[in-house]
Each structure stands twice: as C-alpha cells, then as structure tokens.
C-alpha cells in the first residue's frame, strides 16, 4: 500500500498518484499534520488550537476559527487519492485513515520489522529495511509548525525515533562488514546527535574497522575532552571502556596515520584525469570500491566494474577513487580510454598493452609479436609494486576480456555504459551500478559549478536542477551554460531549455561532447531492433510502460523485442523500477528518444494508441458490458491487446495506466490521431468515475470534443458533449451541465439520432430533478420511456424507469416509485446489467427501509452486495452503505449504523461526489441525532447543507436546515441539554480501516 500522507517534512498528501506539498491552506496543512501524528485518536479543540495556531497570533474566536479551518481542511482533501474522514467526536476531531498510509507510522512499523530481522540474524535485510525507512524522512517532522507543542513533539520524535534508527542502521552496516557505508551513514547525523555516546562509539568502531586507528584515537580523545568539559563522567568512562575494547579487538592497527594519498617516489601516473574539487556524492559507490579492491579477506577482488548510463559520472568516480586511494598503489596508476563509444575506433588489446608498456618506459619496438609484448607486460607487472589500471569507457566484455587476464597482477577498475555481465560472470568481478544523483546532490553539484549564480537565483537554479535529471554530465553542462551567460537570467534560460532539442544540444558548441553526442554513442551501439524499441519509448507519452504494451506495439517478434529490452537494460538506457512487467526510461533519455522520432513516421505511435484503445475496449466490455461504447477504429495489424479475467482487474488496469492514458489522449490529438483521441476517453470514463478520477475524465472529454470537431464527426461531438454534461451533472455544476447537454441535444436532433436524443433527454431529466423541478423531470422521463419502448431500447428504458422511481421517492411518493423500480429491475435482470441491478436493488432497499419493511430491505441489500462483490464501484458502494446505515438505525443497531454511515462518508469523499457526500452526511446526522449526539449531528448536517447549496440542491438544503433548526443545543458549550445529566449516549466508532 502506497503512503498517502506525510508529516516527515512539510505536510504532504497524494494527489493524482504523486505526493505533493502544494495543497490546501496553510492552516489546513497544519491541522492535518497534528491529526496525522496519531491517526484515529480524538484531539480536543484546545489541543488543536494550541498545536496549530501560532503562539503569537491566536484567533479572536477560537472555536469559530477551528470550525472554519476544519471545513477548509475537508474541502482541501477532496482531491486526494485517499480522502480521509475528518470527523467530530465528543467536542474534538479525529482523522479516520489506516495508520500505515502515513509516512511516520510506516517508518515506525518498518523499523520494528528491521529490528526483528536483526534479532533473527538477517543483518542484510535489516540494513535494506532500515535504509528504506530512513529515506521516508524528507525534512524535520511537522516542518512549518512552530508552536511550542509541535516543537516539543518534534524534539521527542527526533530523539526517540530518528536518531535510534540512524544508530541502528550504522550498527547493522558494521555487522555486515561495511564500515565505509556505516561511516557515511554516521556523517549524515547532525549535531547534537552526532555527539551522543552511541554515535561516538559507532564512529570509533567504523574507523577501526577501516584500519584508520590514528583517526579513531584522535576522534576519541577529542570527544573525551568534550565530555570532561561538560562534566559527563559516566559517558567518558563508557567511551574509554569501549575504546579499550576496540584496541584489543584490532591489535594490528597502527597508531600512525595511513600513507598519504600520494604516489611513492618514482611511481607513474599516466592518463589519470585530475582530481576535481567539486565532486559530489557517491559515498556508497566509493565505499563499495574500497570494500572490493582494498579490504583484505574473502571479499577482496583484483578487479571491479563501475557501470551506468552515459553521463552518469563513471569516469569521474573512477578518478576520484584513484586519487584518494593512490597510497595503496606505490607502483603507480595508469588510466586508458578504451574508446568503447564515440566517433573513433575502439582500442584493441594490443594497443592497450603497448600504451601500458610505454607508460612503464619499456621500449615497445624491441618486441615485434603482440603475444610477446603481452607476455612481457605480464612479467613486468608481476615484479612491480602494486599498480592500479583503469580501463575507462569499455565497449563490451569482448573488448576487455583478454586484458583482464594480462593485468591479473594489478588492481583493475573498469568503467562502461554496458553492464559487462559476461565479463563479470567469467572472472567473478563485482559490479557497482551508478544511479542518478538525488535532488540535493544535484543542486550541490550545479551550485558549485555555477560561480555563485545559484545563490542569486535559487528558485530558478532548483528548476534547472530538475532538468538535469540527476545526471552529472547534464548538470555540469547546465552549470557551464549558466556561468558563461551571465547576462541571461536563469528563468529565461530555463524557458529555452524546456525544449528537448535545445536541452540536448548544450555542450555541442565546445571542445567536449554534449548530451546528444554522448547519448548517441550508446544508441549507435545498439542493434537495429533495440534502436527501434528505444525509439518506441520516445513515442510513448509516459516514461513508464508495461511490457505487454511494448510487445504489442513493437513491429518485431516477441522474442526479439524481449532481447532488445534486455539489451537496453544492460546499456542502462531503460530500467525496471521494481515490477518485473514494467520498464521505465529516465526523463532525460525520454527526451532524447523523442528527438529520434522522424516527423513523417506516425506508425509506432499509431500502434501504441491502437494497443491502448483495444485494451481499453476489452476492459470496458468486461467491466461495463451495458454501457455505450464509441465506434471503434480498426486495430493495427499485429496488435495484441491485454485481456482481463474479471471486471475488477479491468478497472485496476484503467487506474494503473491513468497517467499514461491521459497523456496518450493529448498526444493523439496533437499528432492527428483523432479517432483514438475521441474513443479513448469514452472507454475510460466509467472506470475512472468509480474511483473519483474527476480531472482525468473532464480533460479527456474536452479533448474528445475538440478532436470530434476537428474531424467533423458530429455524432462523436454530440456523444462527447453529453458525457461531459453528465460529468458536470454528477459534480453538481448545473450550469455547465446544461450548457453541454443543450448543445448535444441540438446536434442529436439535427441529425435525428434517436439513441442520442434519448440519452441526452434522460440526463436533462436528471438535471430537472437535481434542481427540484420534479414535474418537468417526471414528464421528460415518461417521454423517454415511451420513446425507448417504441424504438426497442431496453437499456435506456430501464435507466429512465429507475430515474422516474428516484424522482417519486424524492417526493416521498413511495407507492408511485415502486412500480417504476420493479420495471427497471425486470429490464436489468433480463439484460444481465450488473451495474444497473446494483442501483435498482439499492433504491428498493431504501424504499422498503422507509416503509418499515426490513425483511424486503435486507433482501435487496443482499442482492446489491452480491453484485458488488466483483464490481469495484465507489459511488454504488457509498449509496448502498448509506441505505444499510439507515436500515441498521431503524432496527436499533446503533454502532453498526454509525460504522456504515461513516463508511459511506469516507467512500463519498474518495469518490469526489459532492452530492453523495451530502447524502451520506445527512444520514449520519440523522443517526447521531437519534442517538442523542446533537453536537455531532449539527456538525455533519452543516457540512451537508453546504454541499447541497454548492450543488444547487436548495430544496434538500432547506429541508435539512429546517431539521437542524429543530435541534436545541447549548451553542457556547456545544453540549445539549439532554446530556447534562447521567444519560448514556452512543459515541461514534471509527470506521474499519481500509486494506
């Protein structure tokens, strides 16, 4: 389950699949942060006011300010992917969500898991879990909250949770024999925690384990002086005992410092790039090289590979490690560019042998045979002091296989864009893969090389950092461009560089290779099939893609496409982000791949669009078999769409691919694939609607309207206008709904489209109903029923009967509603329309609950639940929960009714249905009022009234307002007279946690 809320830094929520800090008002963010410290716990009003309002600026009317802030918080959370229920309880508030949706709770749970792994002896697993848990911390917890209670909580949490997690990870790294990584971990711990005895002892242990006894003793002596100055005798004694233990544990440790990282007298240093002062990050990689190449024991290797995508900094890392480790190689250092990539020919084994012999001052011309020269080099190296040979920029395993044998008496460090898997396997060589720098490391690198411009324009510099995508070469070129164009603002430069062509061209005008040239070397090294598949990533509008999509859209056979993908992964041009059936291309390579696409070749995009369209059709057929579908464009030859066993699986696919599909719809419009741009939104709307993907639906239908107009397809335009009107109707925006529906009706009438006329008029009937214009709605529904019967359209006949029954039920004319529901039920049963059956059974359950016929109400609830089992639909589930809550209330099952009512509210918020939230809140208020909890009833009814008013449902709002006015409470204390005695009341239980 993904984290949906964060307090380990600024307060974040997950919207549209991404965690964001940019949501709601400042006060709403503060309130949510406080509530999320303990999900499910009730916080009193005073507690919230003390925590969330600045000490120096308390509100004039605290309770009113708190109520308004809570209301704004609820509205601010409506667009989140997991809208939580923020509810009132006994004069306070709580947030009802599964605790493990919050990053802080996930952190504590993961650390418990890490400690269990440690106890079980699985220290490697403990390291991985603890490292991932600490990565959840984006900043100090409750960042931005400056009140005294928040500061106290922050101090306690840092001391009780964050610091012990760091010390635990360092201890586990030491237990797995990785003192270099442990030292790096400890270096990230700031003052004052770094000076605590636990961290001091761990740091001393790591230094001794790295054979840095001199540094360890100097460090311990300095800390002992600090303890003495502070009068902390116990800490000093403890540290002295630990230090004595370390000295006995590492008896061979020399008290003198290790050799300085300078070559011994007479040591050679050929071809090694200079040591750049601006080197950033890579502590893990440097520690890994130390472990593989310098640490004696079973883990020692005579060679190591550093691999990674072009521009990731492999050569810079090798040079950095060589300079700092030079003292270990008194025989010298030789670095050879193998030219595995680039315009010139790659170096052969013979050339490298000759270059190395020359570096050793051996007269190469004395030996004619290449075999003899290789043998002489092997002999010379065997007699020399230890040497380091860097084989930089290897093109593949075959290029360096023989060289590794020749250089067996040296330490060999290889770098390559290729994983060199065959070489690593044959010679048992460990590999370190370099990844992208994180945002802070990227900004640090950019800042160091921009000559002060980052300090002058920090926001624009941050934006430039993101363009670099964590790629050191890109960041360096961006910094050089900024430093060399002092007269151009960074904002202006940023606008220019958003164009992929411009971004990839930077650096091409100088002596060094730019991004395009660098990337081109890897691309040109691919075989033609892999090149085609890489370009396919460029055609795809999103950076992540399912393997089935690639296999379907590729013009090559499946086995060849699989091999191409393996090749692309080996060359680090794409990767697999954790799921074996998905591939991801880094942003900057996605931009590069898009520049490789010829303007006159829409074929790959057409195949991608065809695959998604045909898959969406199959998803719609199984998930919504009785909903309308647009005319379909013929599938491209060879396309193999995905298939689904269940409706739930089909809906999950539509949700999982939502970002890709939304981007594809826009891309199809832009590239002229108008048939696909029209059809895709209509096939996806029903699945997205079930899960509240409001913005994706609206934007998709707007594209469909434009595409239909551009292609002069009036039927598609009318259909898209109707669907967009229906969407605004569901959102409660009557004016927009009327605008789109009227235009759709004009087109359908002009072209005598009976189905279109019926569909639009049914929606116009719903609009009349929503506005309280019941006579108009009833008349229109009856007209639609008659036309549907005459035209032989049982689907729309059942829909109109259902809505007519709803209208009579809304007027409390249940006897008149019943036959219409029964006819709708019959039509939908004959059709096997699961979605329609759920709606009708739910409506009949509500009717029989109102009529006090619980046995019939229960029967229809059971039928609706049975149909919902394999039919994920938040809106339908919310309506059924509301009815079941009313039924439980009429039967005196208080806690069950409250649980169901809160579940309905929660589902309505997750589904982003304003009218649904109003209905669920109204039901909850009725139940609370019936259980002698008027304060909470007033709270939820007030919110329901606001929803009804905002959606133009004034009649419902007025009726509920009149009911609210009947409730007498003590406004000042929010304590009803009926509860001033010893009368027992029923408190609201938490709804069940979602799994």
Cβ-contact 529, 564 below 8 angstroms: yes
Neighbours of 676 (CB within 10 A): 24
In whole angstroms, give the CA distance from residue 252 to residue 213. 10
**975: DSSP letter:** B
The three-state secondary structure class of 166 is helix
In whole angstroms, give the CA distance from residue 929 to residue 919. 15
In whole angstroms, give the CA distance from residue 516 to residue 502. 10
Label residue 261 by pLDDT band (50, 70, 90).
Answer: very low
Q: Which residues of 522-548 are buried (b: 16+ CB within 10 A; e: fewer)?
A: bbebbeebbbbbbbbbbbbbbbbbbbb
User: Who wins on pLDDT, 882 or 946?
Assistant: 882
In whole angstroms, give the CA distance from residue 52 to residue 59. 11
In whole angstroms, give the CA distance from residue 699 to residue 769. 26
Lowest mean pLDDT among 305-314, 623-632, 714-723: 623-632
- The whole-number average pLDDT for the span 257-264 is 43
Label residue 62 by pLDDT band (50, 70, 90).
Answer: confident
Neighbours of 259 (CB within 10 A): 12
What pLDDT does 970 receive?
A: 40
What pLDDT does 803 receive?
A: 96
Nearest by Cα to 877 from 692, 725, 716: 692
Cβ-contact 676, 633 below 8 angstroms: yes
If residue 12 lies in a helix (H) or strand (E), which one and from where to where?
strand 12-15
If residue 6 lies in a helix (H) or strand (E), which one and from where to where?
strand 5-6
Q: Cis link prior to 113 (omega < 30° from 0)?
A: no
Label residue 771 by pLDDT band (50, 70, 90).
Answer: confident
Distances 812 to 774, 818, 847, 917 between C-alpha atoms, Å:
12, 11, 9, 21
Distances 991 to 868, 932, 994 between C-alpha atoms, Å:
19, 20, 9
In whole angstroms, give the CA distance from residue 479 to residue 461. 9
Percent helix / strand / coil, the chain, rounded to 5: 65, 5, 30
Q: Six-digit token pair at 743? A: 């235009």
153-190 tens-digit pLDDT: 988 998 889 989 999 999 999 988 888 888 878 877 77
β-pairing verdict for 92-96 and 43-44? antiparallel
**274: DSSP letter:** P
Q: Which residues of 127-161 are buried (b: 16+ CB within 10 A; e: fewer)?
A: bebbbebbeebbebbbbebebeebeebbeebeeeb
What pLDDT does 512 receive?
A: 53
pLDDT exceeds cutoff 50 at 126:
yes
pLDDT exceeds cutoff 70 at 982:
no
Cβ-contact 7, 103 below 8 angstroms: yes
The three-state secondary structure class of 923 is helix
User: Who wins on pLDDT, 781 or 228?
Assistant: 781
In whole angstroms, give the CA distance from residue 748 to residue 766. 18
If residue 5 lies in a helix (H) or strand (E), which one and from where to where?
strand 5-6
Report how far apart the first and last C-alpha atoms of the chain are (Å, whole number).
Answer: 8
The three-state secondary structure class of 180 is helix
Label residue 804 by pLDDT band (50, 70, 90).
Answer: very high
Torsion of CA 335, 338, 339, 344, to 10 degrees: 110
Q: Please give the backbone phi and psi of residue 431, each rounded to the nearest 5 degrees, phi first.
A: -120, 135
Label residue 37 by pLDDT band (50, 70, 90).
Answer: very high
pLDDT exceeds cutoff 70 at 973:
no
What pLDDT does 986 receive?
A: 36
Task: Kindly give the interhelix angle for 874-890 and 894-910, rounded to the nearest 10 degrees.
Answer: 160
Lowest mean pLDDT among 360-374, 834-848, 877-891: 360-374
139-153 tens-digit pLDDT: 889 988 888 888 889
Token pair 């890109």 is found at 474
Label residue 34 by pLDDT band (50, 70, 90).
Answer: very high
The three-state secondary structure class of 544 is strand
Token pair 């708190």 is found at 66
Q: Six-digit token pair at 390? A: 């860097």
Q: The dihedral of CA 848, 853, 855, 856: what is its sign?
A: negative
Distances 994 to 101, 588, 772, 907 between C-alpha atoms, Å:
10, 38, 36, 10
CA atoms within 13 A on the CB side of 434: 29
Largest Cα separation within the chain, whole Å, is 111
Neighbours of 807 (CB within 10 A): 23
Task: Kindly give the interhelix angle for 854-868 and 834-850, rounded to the nearest 10 degrees.
Answer: 160
Neighbours of 90 (CB within 10 A): 15
In whole angstroms, give the CA distance from residue 518 to residue 342. 8
- The whole-number average pLDDT for the span 609-632 is 89
Lowest mean pLDDT among 37-41, 354-358, 902-906: 902-906
What pLDDT does 299 receive?
A: 63
Distances 156 to 135, 159, 454 between C-alpha atoms, Å:
19, 5, 35
The three-state secondary structure class of 857 is helix
In whole angstroms, give the CA distance from residue 19 to residue 438. 17
Q: What angle do CA 469, 475, 479 make, to 5 degrees?
A: 145
931-968 tens-digit pLDDT: 877 778 888 888 888 888 776 677 788 888 888 887 74
* Residues 6+ positions from 102 with CB-CB distance below 8 Å: 3, 4, 5, 6, 7, 36, 39
What pLDDT does 343 receive?
A: 62
Q: Six-digit token pair at 979? A: 């509860």
pLDDT exceeds cutoff 90 at 802:
yes
In whole angstroms, give the CA distance from residue 735 to residue 11. 35
What pLDDT does 295 receive?
A: 76
Label residue 863 by pLDDT band (50, 70, 90).
Answer: very high
Q: Six-digit token pair at 709? A: 């107009």
Neighbours of 507 (CB within 10 A): 21
In whole angstroms, give the CA distance from residue 839 to residue 879. 8
Cβ-contact 699, 660 below 8 angstroms: no
Q: Six-digit token pair at 546? A: 């399912």
Cβ-contact 785, 804 below 8 angstroms: yes
In whole angstroms, give the CA distance from residue 352 to residue 367. 15
What value does the mean pLDDT of the chain take? 84
pLDDT exceeds cutoff 90 at 232:
no
**414: DSSP letter:** E
Label residue 778 by pLDDT band (50, 70, 90).
Answer: very high
In whole angstroms, give the CA distance from residue 47 to residue 601. 63
What pLDDT does 640 receive?
A: 93
The three-state secondary structure class of 602 is coil
377-408 tens-digit pLDDT: 988 988 888 899 999 989 889 999 999 999 99
- Which residues share a beta bridge with 388? 333, 411
What pLDDT does 364 receive?
A: 82
- Which residues share a beta bridge with 391? 336, 414
68-118 tens-digit pLDDT: 788 888 878 877 777 788 888 777 889 888 888 999 999 999 999 999 988
Label residue 496 by pLDDT band (50, 70, 90).
Answer: confident
Helix H segments across 325-393? 349-359, 370-383
- What secondary structure does DSSP assign to 88-152, as a single string? EETTEEEEES-GGGBHHHHHHHHHHHHHHHHHTT-HHHHHHHHHHHHTT--SSTTTT--SHHHHH
β-pairing verdict for 12-15 and 5-6? antiparallel
656-675 tens-digit pLDDT: 898 899 999 999 999 899 99
Lowest mean pLDDT among 53-57, 119-123, 942-946: 53-57
In whole angstroms, give the CA distance from residue 762 to residue 753. 14
Label residue 708 by pLDDT band (50, 70, 90).
Answer: very high
Q: Six-digit token pair at 923? A: 């039901």
């Amino acid at each position: 389950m993904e984290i949906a809320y964060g307090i380990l830094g600024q307060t974040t929520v997950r919207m549209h699949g991404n965690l964001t800090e940019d949501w709601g008002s400042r006060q709403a963010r503060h309130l949510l942060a406080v509530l999320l410290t303990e999900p499910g716990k009730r916080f009193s009003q005073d507690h919230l006011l003390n925590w969330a309002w600045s000490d120096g600026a308390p509100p004039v009317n605290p309770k009113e300010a708190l109520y308004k802030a809570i209301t704004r918080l609820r509205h601010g959370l409506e667009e989140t992917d997991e809208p939580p229920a923020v509810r009132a309880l006994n004069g306070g508030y709580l947030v009802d969500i599964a605790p493990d949706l919050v990053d802080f709770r996930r952190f504590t749970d993961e650390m418990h898991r890490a400690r269990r792994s440690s106890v079980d002896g699985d220290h490697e697993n403990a390291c991985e879990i603890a490292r991932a848990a600490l990565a959840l911390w984006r900043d100090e917890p409750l960042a931005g909250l400056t009140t005294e209670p928040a500061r106290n909580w922050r101090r306690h949490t840092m001391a009780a949770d964050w610091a012990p997690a760091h010390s635990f990870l360092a201890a586990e790294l030491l237990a797995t024999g990785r003192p270099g990584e442990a030292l790096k971990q400890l270096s990230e711990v700031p003052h004052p925690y770094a000076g605590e005895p636990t961290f001091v002892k761990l740091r001393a242990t790591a230094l001794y384990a790295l054979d840095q006894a001199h540094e360890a003793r100097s460090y311990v002596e300095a800390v002992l002086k600090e303890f003495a100055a502070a009068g902390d005798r116990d800490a000093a004694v403890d540290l002295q005992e630990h230090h004595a233990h370390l000295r006995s544990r590492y008896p061979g440790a020399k008290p003198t410092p290790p050799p300085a990282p300078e070559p011994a007298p007479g040591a050679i240093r050929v071809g090694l790039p200079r040591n750049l002062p601006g080197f950033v990050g890579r502590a893990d990689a440097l520690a890994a090289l130390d472990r593989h190449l310098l640490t004696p024991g079973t883990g020692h290797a005579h060679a190591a590979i550093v691999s990674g995508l072009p521009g990731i900094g492999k050569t810079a890392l090798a040079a950095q490690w060589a300079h700092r480790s030079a003292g270990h190689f008194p025989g010298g250092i030789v670095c050879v560019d193998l030219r595995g990539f680039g315009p010139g020919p790659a170096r052969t084994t013979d050339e490298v042998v000759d270059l190395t012999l020359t570096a050793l001052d051996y007269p190469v011309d004395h030996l004619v045979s290449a075999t003899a020269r290789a043998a002489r080099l092997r002999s010379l190296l065997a007699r020399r002091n230890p040497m380091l040979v860097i084989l930089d920029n290897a093109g593949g395993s075959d290029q360096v296989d023989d060289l590794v044998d020749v250089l067996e008496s040296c330490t060999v460090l290889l770098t390559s864009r290729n994983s060199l898997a065959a070489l690593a396997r044959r010679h048992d060589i460990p590999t370190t893969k370099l990844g992208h720098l994180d945002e802070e490391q990227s900004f640090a690198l950019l800042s160091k090389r921009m000559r002060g411009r980052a300090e002058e324009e920090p926001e624009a510099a941050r934006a430039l950092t993101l363009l670099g995508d964590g790629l050191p070469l890109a960041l360096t070129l961006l910094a050089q461009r900024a430093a060399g164009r002092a007269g151009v603002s960074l904002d202006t430069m940023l606008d220019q560089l958003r164009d992929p062509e411009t971004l990839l061209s930077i650096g091409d005008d100088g002596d060094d290779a730019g991004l395009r040239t660098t990337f081109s070397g890897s691309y040109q090294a691919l075989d033609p099939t892999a090149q085609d598949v890489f370009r396919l990533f460029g055609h795809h509008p999103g950076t992540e893609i399912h393997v089935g999509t690639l296999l379907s859209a590729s013009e090559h056979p499946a086995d060849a496409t699989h091999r191409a993908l393996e090749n692309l992964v080996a060359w680090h041009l794409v990767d697999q982000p954790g799921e074996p059936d998905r591939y991801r291309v880094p942003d900057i390579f996605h931009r590069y791949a898009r520049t490789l696409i010829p303007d006159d070749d829409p074929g790959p995009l057409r195949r991608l669009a065809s695959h998604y369209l045909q898959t969406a059709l199959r998803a719609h057929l199984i998930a919504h078999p009785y909903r309308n579908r647009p005319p379909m464009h013929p599938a491209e030859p060879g396309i193999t769409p995905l298939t689904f066993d269940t409706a739930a699986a089909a809906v999950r696919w539509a949700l999982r691919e939502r970002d890709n599909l939304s981007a594809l719809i826009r891309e199809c419009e832009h590239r002229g694939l108008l048939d696909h741009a029209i059809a895709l939104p209509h096939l996806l709307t029903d699945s997205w609607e079930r899960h509240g993907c409001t913005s994706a639906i609206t934007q998709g239908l707007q594209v469909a309207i434009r595409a239909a107009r551009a292609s002069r397809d009036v039927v598609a335009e009318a259909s898209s206008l109707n669907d967009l009107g229906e969407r605004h109707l569901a959102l409660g925006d009557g004016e927009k709904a009327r605008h789109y529906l009227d235009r759709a009706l004009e087109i359908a009438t002009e072209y005598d489209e009976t189905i279109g006329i019926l569909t639009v008029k049914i929606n116009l009937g719903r609009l009349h109903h929503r506005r309280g214009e019941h006579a108009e709605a009833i008349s229109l529904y009856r007209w639609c029923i008659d036309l549907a019967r005459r035209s032989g359209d049982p689907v729309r006949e059942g829909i109109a009967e259902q809505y007519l029954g709803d209208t009579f039920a809304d007027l409390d004319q249940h006897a008149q509603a019943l036959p219409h529901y029964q006819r709708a039920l019959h039509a939908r049963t004959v059709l096997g329309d699961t979605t329609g059956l759920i709606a009708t059974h739910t409506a009949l359950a509500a009717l029989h609950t109102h009529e006090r016929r619980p046995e019939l109400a229960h029967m229809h609830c059971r039928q609706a639940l049975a149909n919902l089992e394999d039919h994920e639909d938040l809106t339908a589930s919310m309506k059924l929960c509301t009815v079941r809550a009313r039924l439980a209330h009429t039967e005196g099952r208080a806690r069950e009714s409250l649980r169901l009512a809160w579940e309905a509210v929660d589902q309505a918020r997750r589904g982003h249905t304003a009218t649904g939230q109003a209905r669920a809140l109204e039901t909850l208020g009725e139940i609370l009022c019936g259980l002698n909890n008027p304060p909470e009833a007033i709270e939820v009814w007030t919110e329901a009234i606001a929803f009804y008013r905002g959606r133009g449902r004034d009649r419902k709002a007025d009726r509920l307002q009149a009911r609210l006015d009947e409730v007498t409470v003590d406004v000042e204390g929010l304590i009803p007279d009926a509860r001033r005695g010893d009368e027992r009341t029923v408190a609201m239980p938490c709804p069940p946690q979602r799994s």
